[in-house]
């Protein structure tokens, strides 16, 4: 697969709400991944941003509004049948409202240490722990139906400025020279 020339057929998002040591997931009832457990999300409407879509899809699927939301990753999927998907991944630290079941999804809370990876897409176990650890990432996957063929997960390195001067000393002071 030549990812350098890859173009997605569709753009979508996922939104994972993490609160009080638990994660809010859904069991999808229809569409791609029906029957699997995942985060709320879906396809972008024309002219819609990934962030606006993540909020709208979460509201539509389980009746809550994600709060303190930020984009943390990007997933690229290529299926052997020709379908391709670009997916922005969001992490929210709170939500407003009470999760409700809809025609699209059933909401499920899980402890962070008990995420049911065996009921999720095969790729989730390779990037979701990084999301939960606060890391940013990009990942590329090839699938044949439900079967993952290849994976490439890359974490972003975030460099922070570190002050090199010892506490109490300033770079602006002229050094004293003894004679």
What does the pLDDT look like over 102-136, one tens digit per residue? 999 999 999 999 999 999 999 999 999 999 999 99
What does the pLDDT look like over 61-88, one tens digit per residue? 999 999 999 999 999 999 999 999 999 9
Spatial CB neighbours of 153, under 8 Å, sequence gap ≥ 6: 126, 127, 130, 137, 138, 139
What does the pLDDT look like over 4-56, one tens digit per residue? 999 999 999 999 999 999 999 999 999 889 999 999 999 999 999 999 999 99
Tell me the pLDDT of the chain averaged across its residues.
90
Q: Quick one: pLDDT band at residue 3, thresholds 50, 70, 90?
A: very high
Query: Which pLDDT score is estimated for 32?
Result: 86
The percent of residues in the chain predicted with pLDDT above 70, rounded, is 88
Task: Provide the whole-model pTM.
Answer: 0.86
| Structure-token pair, residue 104 | 């699209």
125 φ/ψ angles, rounded to the nearest 5 degrees: -65, -15
136 φ/ψ angles, rounded to the nearest 5 degrees: -100, 150
Query: Which pLDDT score is estimated for 171?
Result: 40
Instruction: Tell me the C-alpha distance between 92 and 58, whole Å.
Output: 11
Reduced to 3 states (helix: H, G, I; strand: E, B; else coil), residue 107 is: strand
Q: Is 94 exposed, middle or buried (0-12, 13-18, 19+ CB in 10 A)?
A: middle
């Amino acid at each position: 697969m030549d990812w350098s020339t890859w173009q997605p057929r569709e753009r979508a998002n996922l939104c994972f709400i993490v609160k009080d040591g638990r994660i809010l997931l859904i069991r999808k009832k229809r569409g791609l991944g029906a029957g699997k457990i995942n985060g709320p999300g879906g396809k972008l409407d024309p002219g819609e941003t990934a962030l606006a879509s993540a909020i709208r899809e979460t509201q539509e699927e389980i009746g809550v509004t994600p709060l303190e939301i930020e984009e943390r990753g990007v997933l690229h999927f290529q299926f052997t049948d020709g379908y391709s998907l670009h997916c922005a991944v969001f992490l929210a630290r709170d939500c407003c409202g009470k999760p409700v079941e809809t025609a699209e999804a059933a909401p499920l809370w899980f402890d962070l240490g008990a995420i049911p990876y065996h009921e999720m897409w095969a790729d989730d176990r390779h990037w979701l722990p990084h999301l939960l650890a606060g890391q940013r990432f990009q990942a590329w996957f090839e699938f044949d139906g439900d079967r993952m063929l290849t994976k490439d997960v890359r974490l972003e390195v975030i460099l922070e400025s570190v002050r090199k001067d010892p506490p109490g000393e300033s770079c602006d002071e002229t050094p004293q020279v003894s004679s």
